[in-house]
């Protein structure tokens, strides 16, 4: 094969995917793994653009053409090393990033020949390297005797810990849950991210010297004052866990659930953990999910696997303007989910228990200040969709701790922590010079890869503060 035209002669080939009929009866990941030869061939489709749009579109600016070339040449460990230079969780981002909107969407080949399968190769690199015993090389790291507390073992906290450990600073990561990962573990379903993947990352981080103190809530089990006094700096990566409501009648009716508690209850059952908490089961129910992001897709696909009698997703814009991954929408469709586009909920109806959702049709109007076209109600287009259960998945907002004010951790009107240039400090440094923050609690709910970038960048600022 002529390597100069491999992208023409060899079509895009995704890893095998479990059929919808089989996967709805199982909680495992639906995408398979490349064989070495296939990974090399697919990586070889990259035309090594002079200006790699894929790299610029990636929030962590992965060296994508470089590690594709290494895989094409069979240099797996070098590719793993290079991948980790920009991303602390590549095996996770390879699984759950919306590559269709990011790197692959920006691939030069995307329009005519099919984008290079960047996400699948990213996953392949770390998975295969781990299988063969690869570990980060810290042989040249010099211990600085500095200690940094990290509050939150989600993507931002793990990424911060990774960078600190690579620079001789001891990270101690606190989390109120019994497992690391935050929403990687307790929010994202196993059919997108099997939890063994997160546990493997914990093993790697512990091997790098990262210490985890789990099942500990700051402000309850340990005061923040003690945490701050016992460490040279603190990083906050506590995420966003307060759900956004729609402000319409019936949201508090029995049979209406918030997305996150619903997803967490299912994970707890799979783990056989926290069994005192209620398990939210959709078996035999007519389920309506309100929202159009990735969390909504997680909810509809979970309900299908719980054997709901029907699952419908309602979104107020059209499919092209959904915030979630198109790949996840297509997976949901394959699994039997019905979509009602351009519909906005007006109220949840029922007598003591949900019986339906009153909707109104919308059309897209002019863009707002963010550039998104806003839905406008079409008068006289109301309809009622029958439902036994309703899940609200409108997104999440920050949950500021009650001890923030006592320690000069400033928040804005929306509850997000104020950092960096907004207060004339180092990137991701709060008003309290010893405290840094990053991820969703600073930006608002966003992608895992964005939280990774902010955790890594905050770690570099901490190194500047500590003069390391």
Is the model's pLDDT at 370 over the cut of 80?
no
Is the model's pLDDT at 58 over the cut of 80?
yes
Tokens of 359: 């909707």
17 plus 56 within the same structural domain: yes
For residue range 241-270, what is the model confidence (pLDDT) as tens digits? 888 888 899 999 999 999 999 999 999 988
64 plus 196 within the same structural domain: no
Residue 139 lies in a domain: no
The per-residue pLDDT for 366 is 87
389 plus 264 within the same structural domain: yes
**Mean pLDDT of the 220-247 span:** 94
Instruction: Specify the CATH number for the domain of residue 161.
Output: 3.50.50.60
Domain that holds residue 282: 245-394
Is the model's pLDDT at 379 over the cut of 90?
yes
For residue range 385-434, what is the model confidence (pLDDT) as tens digits? 999 999 999 988 888 999 999 999 999 999 999 999 877 789 999 999 99
Residue 136 lies in a domain: no
- Crossing angle (nearest 10°) for helices 259-271 and 294-305: 50
The per-residue pLDDT for 111 is 84
What percentage of the chain has pLDDT greater than the value 70? Answer: 98
Domain final position from 348, 374, 394: 394
Tell me the three state secondary structure of residue 176: coil
The per-residue pLDDT for 4 is 62
The CA distance from 270 to 194, in Å, is: 11
For residue range 68-95, what is the model confidence (pLDDT) as tens digits? 999 999 999 999 999 999 999 999 999 9
- Residue 331 has a CB neighbour count (10 Å cut-off) of 21
pLDDT band at 275 (very low <50, low <70, confident <90, very high): low
49 plus 91 within the same structural domain: yes
For residue range 281-325, what is the model confidence (pLDDT) as tens digits? 999 999 999 999 999 999 999 999 999 999 999 999 999 988 888
Q: Which residues contact 4 (CB under 8 A, 6 or more apart)?
A: none
179 plus 262 within the same structural domain: no
69 plus 111 within the same structural domain: yes
315 plus 420 within the same structural domain: no
Strands 389-392 and 286-290: parallel
Secondary structure of 381-424 in the HEC alphabet? CCEEEECCEEEECCCEEECCCCCCHHHCCCECCCCCECCHHHHC
Cβ(299)–Cβ(243) below 8 Å: no
Residue 251 lies in a domain: yes
| Mean of all residue pLDDT scores within the chain | 94
**Mean pLDDT of the 181-206 span:** 96
Residue 137 lies in a domain: no
Contacts 24+ apart (CB under 8 A), 228-232: 228/149, 228/407, 228/434, 228/435, 230/147, 230/149, 231/147, 231/148, 231/149, 231/172, 232/146, 232/147, 232/148, 232/169, 232/434, 232/466
Instruction: Specify the CATH number for the domain of residue 120.
Output: 1.10.1060.10
338 plus 408 within the same structural domain: no
- Per the structure, how many domains does the chain have? 3
Residue 24 lies in a domain: yes
67 plus 14 within the same structural domain: yes
Q: Which residues contact 374 (CB under 8 A, 6 or more apart)?
A: 364, 365, 366, 367, 368
For residue range 40-57, what is the model confidence (pLDDT) as tens digits? 999 999 998 888 999 999
330 plus 280 within the same structural domain: yes
Residue 76 lies in a domain: yes
Cβ(163)–Cβ(155) below 8 Å: no
Residue 281 lies in a domain: yes
The CA distance from 161 to 350, in Å, is: 49
281 plus 220 within the same structural domain: no
249 plus 385 within the same structural domain: yes
pLDDT band at 172 (very low <50, low <70, confident <90, very high): very high
The CA distance from 92 to 189, in Å, is: 13
Domain final position from 343, 364, 394: 394
Secondary structure of 112-135 in the HEC alphabet? CCCCCCHHHHHHHHHHHHHHCCCC
Cβ(98)–Cβ(324) below 8 Å: yes
Is the model's pLDDT at 1 over the cut of 70?
no
DSSP 17: B
Domain final position from 377, 394, 411: 394
- Crossing angle (nearest 10°) for helices 155-166 and 448-465: 40
Residue 215 lies in a domain: yes
The CA distance from 384 to 357, in Å, is: 6
Is the model's pLDDT at 274 over the cut of 70?
no
């Amino acid at each position: 094969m002529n390597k100069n035209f491999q992208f023409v002669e060899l079509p895009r080939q995704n890893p095998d995917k479990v059929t919808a009929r089989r996967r709805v009866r199982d909680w495992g990941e639906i995408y398979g793994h490349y064989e070495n030869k296939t990974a090399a061939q697919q990586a070889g489709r990259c035309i090594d653009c002079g200006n790699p749009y894929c790299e610029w579109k990636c929030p962590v600016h992965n060296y994508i053409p470089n590690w594709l070339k290494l895989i094409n040449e069979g240099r797996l460990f070098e590719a793993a090393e290079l991948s980790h230079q920009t991303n602390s969780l590549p095996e996770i981002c390879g699984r759950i990033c919306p590559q269709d909107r990011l790197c692959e969407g920006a691939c030069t080949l995307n329009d005519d020949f099919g984008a290079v399968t960047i996400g699948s190769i990213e996953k392949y690199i770390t998975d295969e390297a781990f299988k063969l015993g690869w570990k980060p090389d810290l042989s040249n790291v010099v211990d600085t005797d500095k200690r940094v507390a990290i509050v939150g073992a989600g993507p931002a906290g793990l990424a911060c810990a990774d960078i600190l450990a690579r620079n001789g600073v001891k990270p101690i990561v606190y989390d109120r849950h019994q497992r690391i990962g935050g929403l990687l573990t307790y929010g994202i379903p196993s059919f997108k991210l099997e939890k063994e993947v997160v546990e493997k990352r914990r093993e790697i981080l512990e091997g790098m010297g990262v210490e985890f103190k789990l099942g500990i809530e700051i402000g309850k089990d340990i005061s923040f004052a003690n945490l701050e006094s016992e460490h040279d700096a603190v990083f906050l990566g506590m995420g966003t866990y307060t759900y956004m409501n729609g402000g319409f009648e019936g949201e508090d009716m029995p049979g209406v659930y918030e997305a996150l508690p619903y997803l967490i209850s299912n994970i707890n059952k799979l783990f056989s953990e926290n069994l005192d908490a209620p398990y939210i089961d959709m078996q035999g129910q007519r389920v309506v999910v309100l929202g159009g992001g990735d969390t909504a897709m997680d909810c509809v696909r979970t309900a299908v696997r719980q054997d709901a009698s029907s699952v419908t997703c309602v979104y107020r814009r059209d499919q092209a303007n959904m915030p979630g991954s198109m790949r996840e929408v297509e997976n949901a469709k394959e699994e039997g989910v019905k979509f009602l586009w351009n519909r906005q909920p007006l109220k949840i109806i029922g007598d003591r228990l949900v019986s339906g959702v009153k909707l109104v049709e919308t059309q897209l109007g002019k863009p707002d200040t963010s550039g998104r076209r806003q839905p406008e109600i079409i008068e006289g287009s109301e309809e009622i969709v029958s439902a036994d259960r309703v899940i609200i998945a409108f997104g999440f907002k920050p949950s500021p701790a009650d001890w923030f004010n006592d320690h000069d951790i400033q928040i804005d009107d929306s509850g997000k922590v104020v950092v960096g240039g907004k207060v004339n400090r180092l990137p991701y440094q709060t008003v309290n010079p010893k405290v840094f923050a990053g991820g969703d609690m600073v930006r608002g709910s966003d992608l895992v890869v964005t939280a990774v970038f902010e955790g890594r960048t905050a770690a570099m600022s901490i190194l500047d503060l500590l003069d390391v």
